[in-house]
Structure 1
Amino acid sequence: MNRIFFRFFVLVMLSITAATFVIYLAISRLFGDPVEDIARRQAAAPIVLLQDYVDQAGADEWLTRLNKVREVSEVRYDLIDLDEARHSVAPGQVADLERGDVVLVPGEKTLYRRVDLKGERYIGSDHDVIRASNLPIDLGVPVKMEIVRFVIVALALLAPIALWSRSHWQGLQALSRVADEIGAGKLTARARMKPSASIYPLAERINDMAGRIQSLLESQRNLLHSVSHELRTPIARLEFGMELLAAQADDPALKKRVAAMEADLAELNSLVNELLGMARLDSVQSLQLAPFAVAPMLRECVDALPPSAHSVECSADDSLGSVDADRRLLARAVGNLVRNAQKYATRRIALSASRPAAGGLEIVVEDDGPGIPPEERERIFEPFYRLDRSRDRATGGFGLGLSIAHKAVALHGGSLRVEDALLGGARFVVTLPPERVL
């Protein structure tokens, strides 16, 4: 947000600077250079002396009067060749010089003027130019006055722009905070602004959008809860019926079929539990924050794993310290990642944690399985999304484990990403922000 207004301020300053130059050029083109006009007024005495005293002399007395002026004046008068004078003035002033006008060079405190256009003063005077240097010109104060004038104009423009920008900046800061709260899961956040505010219509649209999002998510959550709870009743009845059928079945083939149906019911019941778990992760209000040690939690995640042919190498040192988080939720996220590794690992699974130099906490789960293609690494965290090689009953799962882990970590303000593992398979990295680490 600050970057937007900084760029706006820079744009305004550049616009004012450009406008200043345009105004200066326009005035110079229409009415003459104001700096040169000031310098000409300051050099008025030598100009008048040259025009009204020296030039009024006859042809025989012109040089005599010029020498008298040299003796009494602090201005230095020299006679130079016309070609030299042409090179001493600006290209735009050459025509004025040749026409016999007084050409002033304020920066050098010098003026040039041809002695005579027709050679009537003395022989060769039509090729001579009188140069008066060390003129009483001081442009310091006039230039400062011009600068002060433009600064006042700039401030007069910037003051209302600053007041206008300040109200917008405060309003946009408020909208930014509301957007952050909504993005963090606080769907009840709303922008409170006066109707007279300039961005009030935008705030109202954001409030309407937040209200619709909240309504849709609540409807989705209620539907998910209702469907999940309604499914529990027929599942419980089916489980009871299967137990009775299994107790009365004598045929081995029938018992085998009943056992398969019971496995399907258990899978369906697990799916309902996963759906309810997903519904509870829709808001930060579900977090139950409390400090706990990291290393024991990681070791408990390994101990709680189902039996598998792959052992888990757990590197969790007690020096990792503690974090302020939801222990149950974070343990579930790590457990889901390790169980996912069990499905695809060939022989080795590694669970480790560290405190990076930048702060925070990193928990890493990696395996030596086939890995995850780079183009699939973002989609695997979507609910019910599974890679092609996992769509079979051998690996099981519903495609919710990684999604739950991703949501659980995000609720803590952290991130979950996938990389290539040193073991050759997938490497899941959980990063918790420094404010969570004690």
Structure 2
Amino acid sequence: MTGTDPDAGSARERSQGLARSLFRVALPRWRGGRYSLSKLFFNFYLLAMGSFVAIAFTADLVISTAQRGITDDYARRFMRGTITLIEDELFRHPRSSWEKKIQTIDEKFSYKLGIVERITLDRKLTPSQVDKLDAGDIAIDHDGDIMYHRLGTSSLVLVVGPLAASRNPEQTDRLPLELRLRLLTWSLIGVIFGIALWFWIRPVWRDLEALRQTARDLGDGDFEARSPAARSQLIAPLSDTMNSMAERVQQLMATHRELSCGISHELRTPIARMRFALEMLTETDDPAERERLWGMMEADLDELDHLIDTSLTYARFEREAPEPHFSSVRFADWLADEVESVRLLGRDLELAVDTSQLPENLAVDLDRKAMPYALRNLLRNAFKYAARQIRVSAELDGERILIHVDDDGIGIPPEEREHVFSAFTRLDRSRDRSTGGYGLGLAIARRVLELHGGSATADAAPLGGARFTLAWQARQ
């Protein structure tokens, strides 16, 4: 890699400041105890328990209403015998003594008995209950849990109830047994639900705290920070997304630093040559010398233009990872056309294309916009180092298509073959103007092949120099 300079350092500081600002905007506002585990627990508990109680009471009301008719029929059948016996007992005595007799009978029952005039019930009972009463049936008042039965054809009505009332003086001020059981049941449910909720929400809170701390570290510029493995399956996708985002940001920052440092270094050489040529141009009147200096500056401008174009291409592949658009091509014809389009750059080098190992009329799927970047960059690299000849060949290996670009140059040491695909990486012997380059061509080629789900590799060539191979699935 090339060295850094003050301009690259300031660019790195600006990019880090931008990343910190972005993370601070996204940082959860959980500072100063605004949100705590206990507050989260109680808010969630009240919401969940309140909803549960409301649903339970609503369901109980609906079920009670639906079963009321069934309950009424059961109660009538259950109490009909008792009421009939009381009625028969009253009919054995004169009507004038019924009030006294009902008080005597009342002492033998746990619930209250009484006799009222029929006309007094018109306002207490509904029209349907009055109709039942006049028909000689038992009318039930649900609000007071009281039963009414007309005594024969008289205007008197037997009143039985309230059925739930107790005659025990000690229980007069106490809550009804049913209500006490309900309160006890709901209390137990609330406690059990609270304990279960606490053990469920505690790991969630710990995961949220870990995410908060990771976001804070990233906001402070520590791009190595990662969220630990989440204990809760609810937070696990968020934690994975946070880590993926951090890795992507770190990768983009590294690419930005790499491009900034590399480009700032590469710009110095042509700019220095142009400044030197301009100074010489002002000091000479020789037309031939002036023509030579103009040619030097034009070459430097072309070099600057190529550097900027190549850098933008590499940055686009690094930043956007564009979606590939595959189309099927007749591969032998496509390969021959692409090689022919750059043949002039090879000057007097011998450039051959061998497709004899391919099946006839083979069709291959590739991105017709991106794949030429990879092939042309391999050919340009071969043009720099080949001594006399370059050979491009292709073969079908199972489901994969392979393109080999061989040259008879100086080759690449085994320990450098993977390293040459990194951006702005050049072998020491290539740092002269005769070969030029910025170490971006091979990096772009690898990015293109990754876009195709394939690979770009370097090896020794049969011609004695370097072999670069592009491999991907022939059918996508």
Higher relative contact order structure (alpha carbons within 8 Å, sequence separation ≥ 6): 2
**Which has more radius of gyration?**
2
Which category describes the TM-score, using the shorter chain as reference length? 0.3 to 0.5
